[in-house]
Amino acid sequence: MPKKTGKTGKTGKVSKRKPAAKEPVAQQRSGPRRVQLGQYKTLKLQKRIKHPVQLPNVWRLSRQAARTLWRHKRLFIGISLIYGILNVGLAQGLSGGTDLTSLKDTLNQAFTGHLGFLASGLGVFVAMVGTAGNTTDQTAGAYQIILAILVSLALIWTLRQVQAGHRPRIRDAYYQGMQPLIPFILILLVISLELIPMAIGSALYSMVVSDNIAVYTVEKIIWALLCILLAVWSIYMVSSSLFALYIVTLPDMTPMKALRSARGLVRFRRWTVLRKVLWLPLLLLIVALVVMLPIILWLTPLARWVFFVLTMLALAAIHAYLYTLYRELLNE
């Protein structure tokens, strides 16, 4: 039989070629290298690990949300109009309340001069904001919560449709947007549980101050710091669960999956997201003050109606801003 031959060296012996050493796995992979994120731990300071994707600032988020509402203003005004009609009919949104004209006259007597005139208007505005949504009837309060949940589902469904390039109708928002009602309510219950530390801190501080348990200034400061820490803890937890409200409305999504996905979205940038979320109520107050102050000063009888309209439109503005932020978190 013929023998196997190979390359021979000077000695005439068959030389065996050594196999080439394998390249490291990292070098064999083609394409751009991906940033490897470290392990995430709850309540860990995020100064050491930064997320590679930077979120837009609050001004850009606000402009994007306002642009979305303006492009589809008829659709969102129609949804808000139905919300307002149901609120007046079921929750009695315009009944009762403080007499704004008498309150303004009382404040005008307390403040004098041009600055006093402005101060009385600001006082009326603060009173209106403080009593917004308050009702002595428990049934009306329950209707307000139910309506807010249903309209929120309609708005989230509509925002998802217009972002996808579709042209939904108002009735479709209320018909098709109600499908994830139960998962949405379960996420709201989780958020309510996360707000318990804030409620406990507020109740403790009120009790120690009203019952004279904390008499000295140092004691009051210590209890106030404890209340603030509990509030920060609640806000820290809610900062991720808030986006689960939008994730759970996706098809075939469970509340637990939505909560885990929401935690993943804010990973390594929770404090950044929290700052952008806290900007929203400040922005709404500024807009409401700019609109309401001239009306309070010169058209006081119309102030309650205008404020009610702004309150109905505020829900659409809130969801537009948060949904825009949610979409930016997805762009990784």
- The DSSP element (H or E) to which 77 belongs, if any, is helix 73-86
Helix H or strand E segment including 82: helix 73-86
Category of 241 on φ-ψ map: left (φ > 0), alpha (ψ -120 to 50) or beta: alpha
Quick: pLDDT tens for 181-198: 999 999 999 999 999 999
Residue 41 lies in a domain: no
Let me know if residue 4 belongs to a domain. Answer: no
Q: What pLDDT score does 62 carry?
A: 95
pLDDT at 113: 73
pTM of the predicted protein model: 0.81
Could you list the residue range(s) of the whole structural domain that residue 71 is in? 56-330
Stretches where the chain sits below pLDDT 50 are 1-16, 18-38, 40-47, 94
Position 48 in a domain:
no
Say how many domains are in the chain: 1
Flag whether 64 is in a domain. yes
Beta bridge partners of 8: 14
The tens digit of pLDDT for each residue in 97-128 reads: 667 888 888 888 888 777 888 888 999 999 89
pLDDT on residue 97? 60
HEC per residue, 205-252: HHHHHHCCCCCCHHHHHHHHHHHHHHHHHHHHHHHHHHHHHHHCCCCC
- The verdict on residue 45 lying in a domain is no
Q: What is the pLDDT of residue 51?
A: 63
Inside any domain, residue 291: yes
Residue 250 lies in a domain: yes
Domain-located, residue 40: no
Take residue 59 and report the two structure tokens written for it.
């001004």
